[in-house]
Amino acid sequence: MATHTQKIIILDFGSQTTQLIARRIREQKVYSEIHPYTLPLEQLQAMQPSGIILSGGPASVYDADAPLSDPGLFELGLPVLGICYGAQLMTHQLGGTVERAEKREFGKAELRIEKAEPIFSGLAAAPALHQVWMSHGDRIATPAPGFVVSATSAHSPAAALQHMDKPFFAVQFHPEVAHTTIGIDVLRNFIFNLCDCVPNWTISSFIDSTIASIRTQVGDGQVLCALSGGVDSSVTAALVHRAIGEQLTCIHVNNGLMRSGESDAVIRFFRGQSTFHLIDVDATDFFLERLKGITEPEEKRKRIGYGFIEIFEQEAKKLGEVSYLAQGTLYPDVIESVVFRGKAPIKSHHNVGGLPERMHLALIEPLRELFKDEVRLLGLELGLPREAVFRQPFPGPGLGIRIMGEITAQRLHVLRQADVIVLEEMKASGWYDKVWQSFAVLLPIQTVGVMGDGRTYEHVIALRAVDSRDAMTADWSQLPYELLGRISNRIISEVRGVNRVVYDISSKPPATIEWE
């Protein structure tokens, strides 16, 4: 992992927009990391943050099982910004009171700034009103000792607070969301004016620091890289190759869950466009046997992940002395795999969670700190072709998590045919580059239909297309009816065994982008 001399640490208390806080800070060219609120104080200190942000969350501070931070963080002498639940937590832990609000605030609200300096520096004070986004059922009733109110709203007499002597600030609204028109101003004031950060975290600086980190970690060792041909693995391979050159061997595993012709295309591209040492392994039968009879989504993901590890282990032995495995783990993968307050993660990711102890390979995950759009910028900076960098995301488990229920060769054949049609029509219409992701899903049900005056009872294909920036949140894409109609007609006409096509109009959250 690359090191950063300046960073803002965000302690996560379960808000759905915590990731947006990190994004907004990085957009200001300042590095930020998200950690669970349970992060031990000594680890927090060791990170040497420039400032700390306490995120929002769904709990109430007066609940018996309310998530609480280590109160010692307020003794570190660092600037602290509490947002929504984080603001209430700061009040609660420093001696103020929080109570259930008579009138809750959800959505747009008008903020009246009473004291501009320093968190609202540059913004007009009273009587000016500013639109903010609220999402809370509790309110700060009595500020903690030493705090004064710096802004109010119709139902929050303490919509923002600041300590008179210490660099502690609390805002009831969410500065990270676009609906808060002054949100960027608030975050900029915190990170630059109060935390004294310098806007020097760029993709170029990330490349330099990461290359140095990889060289230090690897030394003269040998590295394997799992190369699927997707954006994440391609950028990982390019970055590691720039760092250590011929010490890198890339392995492409055809797990039988790839799109039609995709494995052959990946091999042709990388052997024709690069100097990577590339080994290709056809493990179709191996994976299908491992997945036989398995229908539970998490179990499928795990078997696919462990299957990759077994293949890499076998190939590593053939190569002799290999010490490291490089893979394209991204920050959203890490975040979604975290267990929060004892609850199950959103989903397990095949490339998160380390390696079996028997596999004596250390992990290199150079993209672990990045969001998807940052990875794309990195790919361009490394000289990868635009068509490779901006291809739509394809999940590591492949079509295995786009087939609901058991994975079989026959069901894979049906889905591959439908998938080809979706991609052909999306590209022909110009919509492929307009959406974040578009794909077909094979459902575990069959429905009655009529074809050629005869009754059918066949498969259902669901279409999914979403708009997103970083895969942490997503809205369903409003594709033209004509395009949806063409895709549906072609699938039903050309893919034997399908008689119905439906369109998924759910957003993330509450749904996820992939179906499993």
- DSSP assignment string, 270-334: HHHH---EEEEEE-HHHHHHHTTT---HHHHHHHHHHHHHHHHHHHHHHHS---EEE----HHHH
Identify the CA nearest to 276 among candidates 232, 241, 315: 241
Pick the more confident residue, 290 or 344: 290
Per-residue confidence (pLDDT) for residue 274, from 0 to 100: 65
Pick the more confident residue, 164 or 470: 164
Report residue 136's pLDDT band, with 50, 70 and 90 as the boundaries: low
Query: How far is the C-alpha of 389 from the C-alpha of 236, rounded, in Å?
Result: 12
Per-residue confidence (pLDDT) for residue 346, from 0 to 100: 40
Buried b (16+ CB within 10 A) or exposed e, 440-457: bbbbeeeeeeeeeeeebe
Tokens of 478: 């409003």
Q: Is residue 358 scored above 80 in pLDDT?
A: no
Per-residue confidence (pLDDT) for residue 47, from 0 to 100: 93
Report residue 357's pLDDT band, with 50, 70 and 90 as the boundaries: low
Query: How far is the C-alpha of 451 from the C-alpha of 459, rounded, in Å?
Result: 13
Name the DSSP class of 502. E
Contact 226, 367 (CB under 8 A): no
Pick the more confident residue, 73 or 332: 73
Q: What is the pTM of this model?
A: 0.69
| Structural element, H or E, at residue 88 | helix 85-93
Report residue 186's pLDDT band, with 50, 70 and 90 as the boundaries: very high
What percent of the chain is modeled with pLDDT above 70? 90
Q: DSSP per residue over 131-190, as a string?
A: EEEEEEEEEEEEPPTTEEEEEE-SS-TTSEEEESSSSEEEESS-TTSTT-TTHHHHHHII
Helices (H) and strands (E) in the chain, counts: 14, 18
Per-residue confidence (pLDDT) for residue 8, from 0 to 100: 96
Q: Convert the pLDDT of each residue in 267-278 to its tens digit.
A: 887 777 667 788
* Burial grade of 68 (CB within 10 A; 0-12, 13-18, 19 or more): middle
Amino acid sitting at position 233: S
Catalytic, out of 4, 136, 163, 174: 174
Q: Convert the pLDDT of each residue in 421-474 to its tens digit.
A: 999 999 999 999 999 999 999 999 988 887 665 677 789 999 999 998 767 788
Catalytic, out of 130, 136, 176, 365: 176
Identify the CA nearest to 234 among candidates 398, 436, 394: 394
Pick the more confident residue, 140 or 168: 168
Catalytic, out of 4, 84, 425, 516: 84
Per-residue confidence (pLDDT) for residue 402, from 0 to 100: 95
Report residue 413's pLDDT band, with 50, 70 and 90 as the boundaries: very high
Contact 372, 335 (CB under 8 A): no
Per-residue confidence (pLDDT) for residue 454, from 0 to 100: 66
Report residue 510's pLDDT band, with 50, 70 and 90 as the boundaries: confident
Whole-Å CA distances, 224 to 278, 296, 359, 390, 423:
10, 30, 13, 24, 31
What percent of the chain is modeled with pLDDT above 90? 52
Q: Within its chain, how far is the Cα of 190 from the centroid?
A: 24
Pick the more confident residue, 3 or 94: 94
Q: Is residue 103 scored above 90 in pLDDT?
A: no
C-alpha torsion sign, points 128, 133, 137, 139? negative
Please name every residue paired with 439 in a beta bridge, in sequence order, or none if there are none. Answer: 464
| Mean per-residue pLDDT over the chain, rounded | 87
Amino acid sitting at position 423: L
List Cβ neighbours of 128 (8 Å cut-off, separation of 6 or more).
Answer: 112, 113
Per-residue confidence (pLDDT) for residue 127, from 0 to 100: 58
Report residue 350's pLDDT band, with 50, 70 and 90 as the boundaries: very low
Contact 52, 9 (CB under 8 A): yes
Q: Is residue 339 scored above 50 in pLDDT?
A: no
Q: What would the mean pLDDT of 400-417 be, rounded to a whole number?
A: 94
Pick the more confident residue, 505 or 178: 505
Please name every residue paired with 475 in a beta bridge, in sequence order, or none if there are none. Answer: 467
Identify the CA nearest to 260 among candidates 415, 430, 475, 124: 415
Q: What would the mean pLDDT of 389-414 be, rounded to a whole number?
A: 90
Q: What would the mean pLDDT of 387-410 be, rounded to a whole number?
A: 89
Q: Is residue 347 scored above 50 in pLDDT?
A: no
Whole-Å CA distances, 315 to 142, 162, 250, 309:
63, 58, 10, 10
Pick the more confident residue, 122 or 405: 405
Q: Is residue 351 scored above 60 in pLDDT?
A: no
Whether 174 is catalytic: yes
* Burial grade of 78 (CB within 10 A; 0-12, 13-18, 19 or more): buried
Q: Within its chain, how far is the Cα of 221 from the centroid?
A: 31
